[in-house]
Structure 1
Amino acid sequence: MIKTITYHLRDVIPYINWIYFFHAWGFPPRFAGIADVHDCAGCRAGWLNQFSEEEKARATEAMRLYDDARQMLTKLDATYHSYVRFGLYDANSDGDNLVFWSDEEGDAKKEFRLPLLRQQQKKTEGPFLCLSDYVRPVSHGIRDKVGVFCATVDEEIEHLYEKDEDYDPFVHMLCQTLADRMAEASVEKMHEEVRKIYWGYAPDEQLSIKDLLLERFQGIRPAVGYPSLPDQSTNFDLDAWLDFSRIGIRITETGAMIPHASVSGLILAHPQAKYFAVGKIGEDQLQDYASRKGKPVDAIRKFLTANL
């Protein structure tokens, strides 16, 4: 199945991970605690008083930034939306590849392959991981399932207060950082709905949003460009199956997405699935990976410079 969801911003705002918002503004994680504080003056004063005298000015700045962000979110909610598109596919692993099966029947049934990378650096303990390890092997003769997703927000949000008479560099950056967080929050909400409803492998899940942000649910959703799925050219493969343009995402020749506030990746349900970093790989794996992707080695090398 493939499904597109349009969210009102008010529905995804509760799923914002404020730690990453404050990180974008140069604040350590402890300052994001203001998002968990009741709005009354006493509670806010109590939160402020937990900081040392040396840090109170910085904490006050964080409080003001949070207030500005909430006011902007209320304003944006009146006009803009976020969008998620996901597909749930019959799939299996085949070595370091994922094999996706189309919904077509009989002889027309198609196979799509997604090559992946495996850890290769020396380790003191534990296996050398690849995301395909968390999907049932094709040799078992039983289909598993893998999700593919992309998400974004209305592109105009990123350009608000950017130029002309409305130019305001602070408010412009505020809109950009909030756009990033809303795209991620939309994926968080979508993933919850996938687990409980659309895929339904965790129908009885009862987690608070705090638990969700601490990733206390079953499964993972590795994003393209992140440590376990570092090759940004993977976006070309996922786009071919999911058609990112259906929610307004364009992909550049480098595999980057426009709007910038966009995210894409996989959804895996294995109860032991965990995030990991592929890290450095050797020339042997690079050549094998390029061969599996059907691309020249040098064409793939430019996407994996950080891993070589």
Structure 2
Amino acid sequence: AYVEQDLHEIYEGEVRYARDAFEGLRLMDALMGVKRGVPGVELPPLKQRRVPKRTATSAAGAAGPFLVAEPEEGGRSDVAVDAPVPAPPFWGTRVVKGIALKEYASWLDETALFKGQWGLKDTETIETDGRPRLRGWLDRLHTDGLLEAAVVHGYFPCVSKGDDLIILDEFGGERTRFTFPRQRRGRRLCLADYFRPEESGETDVVGLQVVTVGSRIGEETARLFAADAYREYMELHGLSVQLAEALAEYWHARVRTELGISESDPASMAGMFRTEYQGCRYSLGYPACPDLEDRAKIADLLRPERIGVHLSEEFQLHPEQSTDAIVIHHPEATYFNAR
């Protein structure tokens, strides 16, 4: 309703909301049909608001002001400051190239692929159409050599101070720091709380990683798009994104093993996807660490150009099928919204 009612009111052209890319393609087909005057083709009606629009006066009565609650007072969260600090297998960075598809293919989240990326909603369609097409794509990726999976990762000494995570150099001085948002209510969580505070006199460890499945698969998706092969384009693009995520999850599991905290890993892959293990992997741009400019600090520490990954002026990773992450070992680490 925000798109099709509110924005539609202020924009002179057509405005429509699509739940996913496939619906977007259907809308574009209808729009082009209308523009070309194809008989019987029309755009779907605008979606209507199901609840009254909330206004400043309706929130507090016709005559009253719209009040915004002030943040609760408080300091640091209640996250434990004495969790054991694991010993990393090395300090600094390592590069791993030529990772075979069979090593991380089992980490592919098929639910996210079929339902989220490919728009397949029912089990029958997934089994009769989606799964055979997935097998075909994986065979093609392997046969055509479209995957160039690689990782650069590392372990760095660190401490926390307030909302900051401070990365230390070999002499204990500050190398760089990340400043994370803190919840204004509730537990007042902040990523910095998962590390030993500076005043403790102890040093903690943080993991950083950048993974990529390479540029060839992106070049193939671009070729399909240019050839108007939109279904194949959408399928391969969605698969490439999920394969990059699968590689990131696979490597996170490797990191947990190297840190000696993998004993609690669940036996099933479903449990892995529900993050039922110790620690957490936070990608830049998500609620707990939303500042994309921090990617420049990770790039400075890891030098991902060694695996063909570069940072744009807008702090986007290229190739697109790449992800970065801050890996935290603390047993209380979890995903949260920092607002």
Report if the CA contact (8 A) 1:161-1:169 is conserved: no
- Confirm whether residue 233 of structure 1 aligns to residue 258 of structure 2: no
- Cα distance in 1 for partners of 2:126, 2:103 equals 27
Match of 1:294 in 2: none
Deviation sequence 1:53-90 (CA, Å, 0-9, x none): xxxxxx32664122112211122123123112111111
3-state SS of the aligned residue for 1:145?
strand
**Aligned residues between the structures:** 243
- Cα distance in 1 for partners of 2:157, 2:103 equals 30
Deviation sequence 1:197-238 (CA, Å, 0-9, x none): 2x2233574633222111111010111111111111111111
3-state SS of the aligned residue for 1:175?
helix
- Confirm whether residue 87 of structure 1 aligns to residue 158 of structure 2: no
TM-score by length of 1: 0.73
Report if the CA contact (8 A) 2:309-2:318 is conserved: yes
- Confirm whether residue 117 of structure 1 aligns to residue 220 of structure 2: no
1:142 shift after superposition: 0.7
Equivalent position to 1:195, from 229, 249, 256: 256
Q: How does 1:205-284 map to 2 (within 5 A)?
A: 205=265, 207-279=267-339
Question: Which of these two proteins has the greater Rg computed from alpha carbons?
Answer: 2
Answer 1 or 2: which has greater helix percent. Answer: 1
3-state SS of the aligned residue for 2:262?
coil
Percentage of identical aligned residues = 27
Report if the CA contact (8 A) 2:150-2:212 is conserved: yes
Equivalent position to 2:167, from 85, 100, 114: 100
- Cα distance in 1 for partners of 2:127, 2:233 equals 18
3-state SS of the aligned residue for 1:98?
strand
Q: How does 1:1-308 map to 2 (within 5 A)?
A: 1=91, 2-6=93-97, 7-22=99-114, 23-28=116-121, 31=122, 59-60=124-125, 63-78=128-143, 79=145, 80-102=147-169, 104-105=170-171, 110-120=174-184, 123=185, 126-160=186-220, 162-163=222-223, 168-197=229-258, 199-202=259-262, 205=265, 207-279=267-339
Report if the CA contact (8 A) 1:196-1:204 is conserved: no
- Cα distance in 1 for partners of 2:312, 2:256 equals 31
TM-score by length of 2: 0.66
Unaligned runs of 5+ in 1: 32-47, 49-58, 280-308
1:26 shift after superposition: 2.6
Which amino acid in structure 2 is aligned with residue 162 of structure 1? Answer: A
Give the RMSD, CA atoms, in angstroms.
2.2
Unaligned runs of 5+ in 2: 1-90
